Amino acid sequence: MARTRKIIKNSVHRALNAIGDRWSQLILEEAFRGTTRFEDFRARTGAPRNTLSNRLRGLVANGILERRAHREGAARQAYHLTEMGKGLFDSVLLAWSWGIRWDEVSPHGPAGLAHAGCGRSMLPQMVCEHCGGDISLHSCSHHPGPGAGVEEIQVTRLHRRRQPGGADETVRPTSDVVDMTGDRWTGMVISTQYFGVHRFDDIQAMLDIATNILTDRLRALVANGVFERRLYELSPPRYEYWLTRKGKDLYPHALALLLWADRWLADASGPPVEVTHNACGKPILAQVICSGCRAPLTPDNVAERRPGARTKA
């Protein structure tokens, strides 16, 4: 059941709530691959029929998909990306890129990507449109925007446990981007890092999250190598949580979601956070390019490389 919580305004949170859980994100990936029919979504995502119906309904309600007749005069409906939905392509590409780079590819993700323009294998990367410089967590600065403050949001499907059960709590859980961001608490805990929040109590206060849930998510993120613990007090032992290199590499994906939400989901007060590219000092205007020829990537010029995959992303 959906619950409301008061949290610091954050466009990444808004984006994740609009996109939905893991099932919704798998549906979105398939939509970019050209899937439009209900039965095809079901076969390619493995979603139960009722689950798929609910998630498609939610994506339509949030303006990401739209329903159309499958063909003229046909009773069956097809699902197509809206302009709002098409704007999520950068985030999907960057999620795939992260999975390939860190060997965290889900069963539904591509094992490799190629750019049709130059014909070479590549990894999508985010750059600044103003100066062409690479975008990373440390190349950007964050400042309160005109829409900064606190808001009450609906947070759905916040599962209570992510870490595997049983006696062995060191088992490494799955950590592809869809799995992490599809669990709302995990995505929200990661996002606190972008605002310099590292201590347990501060993370808890920022998210209004129960201690047992936060402990579980932090344990999973450490097990996956996304966070590392740093001791800052000896007695009793207390730790800060910091992004590893692997964790920092998630930032372009988060920024793509932030920019998308600022365009499509911002309220009248404006963006909660303004992001500046340090190299040129200008507000972030980002694009995703081929790592080989540095040409912009679109749904029409990216090909997947994986056994049994359709060739068009």
Range 206-229 average pLDDT: 93
In this predicted structure, what is the pLDDT of residue 306? 64
In this predicted structure, what is the pLDDT of residue 102? 94
Contacts of 141 (CB under 8 A, 6+ apart): 275, 276, 278
In this predicted structure, what is the pLDDT of residue 121? 95
Whether 198 and 221 have beta carbons less than 8 Å apart is answered as no
Tell me how far CA of residue 34 lies from CA of 30, 50, 108, 111, 276, in angstroms.
7, 22, 14, 18, 35
160-169, 188-197, 204-213, 259-268: segment of lowest average pLDDT = 160-169
- The pLDDT-based confidence of 309 (bands split at 50, 70, 90) is very low
In this predicted structure, what is the pLDDT of residue 152? 76
67-76, 100-109, 247-256, 279-288: segment of lowest average pLDDT = 67-76
Bridge partner residues of 289 (DSSP): 125, 296
Cβ neighbours, 10 Å, residue 32: 18
pLDDT in tens, 275-292: 999 999 999 999 999 999
For the cut 60, the answer to whether the pLDDT of residue 91 exceeds it is yes
For the cut 60, the answer to whether the pLDDT of residue 82 exceeds it is yes
**Conformation bin of residue 194: beta by default, left when phi > 0, alpha when psi is -120 to 50:** alpha
For the cut 60, the answer to whether the pLDDT of residue 1 exceeds it is no
Range 21-32 average pLDDT: 95
* Strand, helix or coil for residue 201: helix
For the cut 80, the answer to whether the pLDDT of residue 222 exceeds it is yes
* Strand, helix or coil for residue 295: coil
pLDDT in tens, 237-275: 999 999 999 999 999 999 999 999 999 998 899 999 999
In this predicted structure, what is the pLDDT of residue 71? 67
55-69, 122-136, 145-159, 259-273: segment of lowest average pLDDT = 145-159
For the cut 50, the answer to whether the pLDDT of residue 41 exceeds it is yes
What are the E-state strand segments in the chain? 3-8, 65-69, 77-81, 112-115, 120-122, 125-128, 140-144, 150-155, 227-233, 238-243, 273-277, 282-283, 286-289, 302-305
Class of domain 90-313: mainly alpha
Bridge partner residues of 79 (DSSP): 67
Comparing CA positions, the residue from 187, 186, 221 lying closest to residue 11 is: 187
For the cut 60, the answer to whether the pLDDT of residue 73 exceeds it is no
- The pLDDT-based confidence of 189 (bands split at 50, 70, 90) is very high
Give the percent of the chain with pLDDT over 90: 69
* Strand, helix or coil for residue 84: helix
Range 224-236 average pLDDT: 93
In this predicted structure, what is the pLDDT of residue 311? 42
pLDDT in tens, 132-148: 999 999 999 999 999 98
Contacts of 55 (CB under 8 A, 6+ apart): 20, 21, 23, 24, 27, 47
Return the residue matching tokens 């390019």.
289
Every domain of the chain and the residues it spans: 90-313
Amino acid, single-letter form, for residue 186:
T
Tell me how far CA of residue 73 lies from CA of 68, 69, 76, 77, in angstroms.
11, 7, 9, 10
In this predicted structure, what is the pLDDT of residue 70? 72
Contacts of 162 (CB under 8 A, 6+ apart): 173, 183, 185, 186, 216, 217, 220
Tell me how far CA of residue 80 lies from CA of 43, 69, 277, in angstroms.
17, 10, 34
Contacts of 108 (CB under 8 A, 6+ apart): 26, 29, 44, 45, 178
In this predicted structure, what is the pLDDT of residue 160? 46
- The pLDDT-based confidence of 310 (bands split at 50, 70, 90) is very low
Distance CA 190, CA 176 (A): 13
Amino acid, single-letter form, for residue 263:
R
